[in-house]
Amino acid sequence: NAGVTQTPKFRVLKTGQSMTLLCAQDMNHEYMYWYRQDPGMGLRLIHYSVGEGTTAKGEVPDGYNVSRLKKQNFLLGLESAAPSQTSVYFCASKWGGQGKGEQYFGPGTRLTVT
């Protein structure tokens, strides 16, 4: 059981370039989330999904797009990267919609935009 995995672990982009971050989970979870973590800011929710084929905006969605074509995968896209998107990105998943459920986190992707 790998849990939540993220690809890639590190990436350096130039301003204006695009990329996709992949999150995969093997726990058959319905809910998946993308967060960014910046120093002194905690984790902020970018987008989330409550099931295959659904996505919704979180707290800081601008400049990002997501897709959930398969239940086990949640993709985060940056169409035109900006230095402000330099951050560590975490994916998480959860079994159900109840607020008391635990989110399981991936190891993170460290992205630098120059």
At 68 the three-state DSSP class reads: coil
In contact, 14 and 113? CB cutoff 8 Å: yes
Distance of alpha carbon 113 from its chain centroid, rounded? 17
Choose between 17 and 50: whose C-beta lies nearer to other proteins.
Answer: 50
Counting Cα atoms < 13 Å in the Cβ hemisphere of 34 gives 32
* Residue 111 Cβ vs other proteins, minimum distance, rounded to whole Å: 14
Residue type, 59: E
* Residue 99 Cβ vs other proteins, minimum distance, rounded to whole Å: 3
Distance of alpha carbon 12 from its chain centroid, rounded? 17
Choose between 48 and 113: whose C-beta lies nearer to other proteins.
Answer: 48
* Residue 44 Cβ vs other proteins, minimum distance, rounded to whole Å: 8
Choose between 19 and 45: whose C-beta lies nearer to other proteins.
Answer: 45
- Name residues whose C-beta falls within 8 Å of residue 85's C-beta, 6 or more positions apart in sequence: 36, 63, 78, 111, 113
Choose between 11 and 17: whose C-beta lies nearer to other proteins.
Answer: 11
Interface residues with other proteins (CB under 8 A)? 4, 31, 33, 40-45, 48, 50, 56, 58, 90, 92, 94, 97-100, 102-103, 105-108
